[in-house]
Each structure stands twice: as structure tokens, then as C-alpha cells.
Amino acid sequence: MVLRGVTCIEDIKDPGLPTDSFYEIRAGCTDVQETKFRIKNSKAVLNLQLITRTLRINPSLMIGFCKLSSKCLSFQLTQAGKTLSVKRWRASFTPEGSLDIGKCLNRICRGGIHPSIRGEVWEFLLGCYDPKSTYDEREQIRQRRRDQYAQLKESCSHMFPVVGSGKFITARVITADGDPIQDPTVLLGADLEQLPTPQSLESVDPIPVTVGSREHDKDKIQWKLALHQIGLDVVRTDRTLMFYEKQENLAKLWDVLAVYAWHDKDVGYGQGMSDLCSPMIMLLENEADAFWCFERLMRRVRGNFRCTGNSVGVEAQLDNLANVTKAVYPKLHQHLEHLGGGGYLFAFRMLMVLFRREYSFGDSLVLWEMMWSLEYDPELFSLYEGGETQNKYDVYKATRKSRRQYGKYIRANRKSRARARGEPGAPLPISVFVLASVLKDRSDKLLKEARGLDDVVKILNDISGSMDAQKACTGAMKIHKKYLKRYFHSLFVIVQAKTPKHSVNKLLSLLFVGMSFDDRFHIEFEQGSVGGNLLRVGH
């Protein structure tokens, strides 16, 4: 059978390149998760569109068409979004260098980014650069940041000379009291082929190191205490990738994390940061550029790593996840609560490292960029640099084109908040809704098979390597809308007749703090039968 517009059956079978094909795997690694996402070429998508159009015109071809590989057809239908290509990316810049990022956001959230340009696109998505800046302006910023990183690294090297030496440590070099630990095997040399095992550390040639006299500065003590944990995590991070067979790349990852721990003393270093930083090291050749890209990512998630007393910051996001699940899937929430999992600690790792362990390396990067494109705010650069940003409601007085510079998730939040005329706090991160989407997809199995928390953990661990990034993000947006509808549908606030309107706005800001509601909701004032104003928020 030959369909009009399709020259060969192979056109249909071409699924695109796996994302992980750009990240070489070490020989002998057999337990690596298989990538699910494909880099879509225009030809395959075009042919699918032609097939669909042909079937609509001549339904009699359906019987013959259904004899084609169902697996191939299913894959094409679920992965129809095209990847942001190099050509499309370059065409989004003006001759001076200003970027119309609105042309790219929709493509990214549907098809991801081509690996060859992923690093430079991430720098914009994470707020490293203002899309309105020119090539010359970005070059000046880049050079200034590189100089700043060099100064930070030099300060760290002055405190501990291993930083910047091309080596790193995996053993303690200081006690909690500030006393140095003289350990001749503290430095790791170049022979790292079997580094992940404890036995391999014994085979490394010992290199003497002088760690100095007793330290009294508390900040320096805390920083030096973290250095060996950074080293231990570095040798475990993405060890299936050929990239980390090189000593220089391991040392670069250790240096960036060590410098960041000193740069952000309030948070320091926490386990899981190496999983977030590793892709930056791989995608951005310049170490300083990788550091600042990682620093921008940490601005989004640093609260998860902040420890106060006996609590960890990510617990706040777990509480948010519990609230979302309770509102949208009350039966599932009740079941998890009955099993003792109402605190959702079983989801701790997913939020801490943004699903790095649940996806293959390449697929996790696709998920990240899809989430960032949905959450993208062109004012991020000004916010991070301490500059002035436009009023958050003015964006909806702007042109339609300028509104497209915002991600869909942010656009919906800001539009609804503009109607509220209040000053609510930041909306929940989309990662919470992505995780809720994961729970929803496994809800039947959780309800039927989970008889304890061990079963919950096992069921969620089994999803590793089987999740679809695009499906997760689409599901997250749907749950977000459903959550808002459930939460606000029956919300009524009675305000006394003499209550000034500005007080109503203040009340709204308290009600909606940390939340948002979809643009399908509206706010209206009605005369109440009790002589007051009835403020109704509903669908």
C-alpha cells in the first residue's frame, strides 16, 4: 500500500534519534535506562501529518493502514512535537542579537531541544541572559561572570589548594572543631577507572597533602567539612557516561560544587546537587559558564536543600504535593495517608533531584527543559541581577506578542492574578504537578496493590525508565487546572458592605498566597442578602 504524500514505508518507521545517542555510555554498563524520547526530524512529522490528512480524505485506506506496525504508529502519534532545531533557534535572533524566545517556547515544551544547542538555550531558560540583550551585551556579561568565578575559585583555592588543582578529595580533611586531619590518601590521582567501588580507592597512589593549621572561622569549617562529601558524590554521579571517565571532568564537577558551597554559604552543599550540576558540566565547555548556569538552577530549588533544625526545605514542597493530591485525587490521598504516607516522603528524591533517577540521562534533560519552558519568565534576568522589573500585571496590558515571551504556566498564573488585583506569593513550581501526574498514572496500581509504604516505594521505583517526559508535563498542566477548579469552586467570602475595596484586595492576597487560579475562573462582586458584598470566586 502506498499513501499519497508518503514515498516509502520507511518514512513512517523512522522514529527519530534517541536523546541518549548524544551522550556516550561506557562499555559494559548493561543496567542503563533506555531513553524514551526521540529527537524529531521535520520529515517524519510531516509524513505523519500527510498520512492523517489522506485518511480523512479517503477513509477506505484505513483498513490497509492499520496493518502497519501499531507500535510505530503509536510512537509517532504520542511524539508528534518537533524538537527545537539549530535552524529554528538561530532564526529567532535579530541581527543585533535580541532573542524572540516566544518563537521557541512552544517548540521546547512539545519536543525538547536539540542536544547541539542545549547548553546555550538553557542559559536563556534559566535566566542567565536577558532575551532582549544584544550579542555584545551578552559577551560583556559573560566575561564579567568568568572573572567573578575566577575570583571565587581563587579564594577557595587559597583556603584549600586542592581546588583548581585538577584533583579532588573523598576523605575528611577537618574535624567539626576545626582541627586538620593529616591523611596521605586524601587526594585522588588520575587512575579512576574503578573509582565507584571502595576497593578502587585503595588502588589509587597516595599523594601527600598538607591541610594546614587549626581553623577557627565557622564558615570555613563548614565549607571544608562538605568537601569530602562532594567528592564522594562526584565519583557516583553519572558514572555510566564516558564523559566522566576523564579525571579532568570529575575534577571540574568537584570544583564547581566546591565553589558553589562557598558562594552560597546559607545552603552550602547538599546531597543531590551533583545530579543537578552534572549536565551543566557536560553541556557548557567553559567551567565558569557551567557554574553560573548551575547557580541559576539552584535559585529555583535551593529552598529544597535548606536545612533548619530537624527539617529539610523540600518538605514544604511535599506538603504542597499532599494538598494537590488531596484536592484532585482524594481517594488516592486517603489511601496513602492510611498507609502512613500522608507526608509523601516517598517522593522526596524525585523533587530533590528533579526526577534524574526516574529517567534516563537524556530524557531527564528533556523533562527539565520542558518544565522550564512552561515556567519561563523573561524578567528572570532582571530579578536575579537586582534590576527593576515591570509590574507583574502590566504584562497583560502589553501586546499579544510580548505575552508570548512567557511560558504557558506563568502566563496562566499571571493572568489570573492580574484579575485578582492582589499581591499573592509565588505559585507552586510545576515540578509538584509533574509529580502529581506521576502519582495519577500509577493510582490504580497504588490503590490495588499497595498495602504498606514499602509497596508504595516499590511501585514508584518500578517507573524508572518507563516515564514519558512530554506526557508528564501535559498531565501536570491538566492537573494544575483541575486543582484550581476544585480548590476555588466553592470558595465564598462575605465582606461587610462598608469594607473598602482595597481591603478586599488585601484579603485576596492572603487567600491566594502561594497559589494561583486558572483564567477560566472569575471574580465578581454581588450584593448579598445580609447587607454586605458577596465576593464570589468560582467557575
Residue carrying the nine cell digits 584533583: 167
The DSSP call for residue 34 is P
What burial class does residue 303 get, using C-beta atoms within 10 Å of its C-beta: 0-12 exposed, 13-18 middle, 19+ buried? middle
* pLDDT for the residue numbered 357: 87
State pTM to two decimals.
0.77
Contacts of 147 (CB under 8 A, 6+ apart): none
pLDDT at 417: 53
Contact assessment for residue 366 and residue 355, using Cβ atoms and an 8 Å cutoff: no
The backbone torsions φ and ψ at residue 525, rounded to the nearest 5 degrees and listed phi first, read: -100, 130
CB-based contacts of 99, cutoff 8 Å, min separation 6: 92, 93, 124, 131, 132
Q: The dihedral of CA 257, 259, 263, 266: what is its sign? A: positive
- What pLDDT score does 23 carry? 83
pLDDT at 493: 44
Distance CA(38)–CA(80), nearest Å, equals 10
Q: Residue-wise pLDDT tens for the chain (539 aa)?
A: 333 333 333 333 344 566 556 788 877 776 676 666 666 654 444 344 444 444 444 444 444 444 444 444 333 333 446 899 999 999 999 999 999 999 999 999 999 999 999 999 999 999 999 999 999 999 999 999 999 999 999 999 999 999 999 999 999 999 988 888 876 455 654 344 444 443 343 333 334 444 456 766 899 999 999 999 999 999 999 999 999 999 999 999 999 999 999 999 999 999 999 999 999 999 999 999 999 999 999 999 999 998 877 777 889 999 999 999 999 999 999 999 999 999 999 999 999 999 998 888 999 999 999 999 999 999 999 988 875 444 443 444 444 557 889 999 988 776 555 443 333 446 789 999 999 999 999 999 999 999 999 999 999 988 877 788 999 999 999 999 888 777 655 444 434 444 555 555 555 454 444 444 333 333 443 334 333 444 444 43
Output phi, psi for 175, to 5 deg.
-90, 170
Which residues have a Cβ under 8 Å from the Cβ of 287 and sit 6 or more positions away? 149, 252, 255, 256, 281
SS3 235: coil
pLDDT value of residue 38: 63
Asked whether 258 and 227 are in contact (CB, 8 A), the reply is yes
For 470-480, b where at least 16 C-beta lie within 10 A, e where not — what string?
bebbebbbebb
Residues 456 and 434 sit within 8 Å (Cβ to Cβ):
no
Gyration radius of the chain's alpha carbons: 26
> For residue 26, what is its C-alpha cell?
561506557
Domains of the chain from N-terminus onward: 9-94+106-111 (no CATH), 135-305 (1.10.8.270), 311-485 (1.10.472)
Would you state the pLDDT for residue 401? 53
Nearest to 354 by CA among 314, 412, 408: 314
**Residues written for the chain:** 539
Q: How far is residue 249's CA from residue 445's CA, in Å, rounded to a whole number? A: 41
| pLDDT reported for residue 506 | 53
Angle, CA of 90, 94 and 95, to the nearest 5°: 100
CB count within 10 Å of CB 71 equals 10
Q: Which residues contact 458 (CB under 8 A, 6 or more apart)?
A: none
CA distance 427 to 436: 16
Give the C-alpha separation, 386 to 4, whole Å.
57
Cell of 296: 541559576
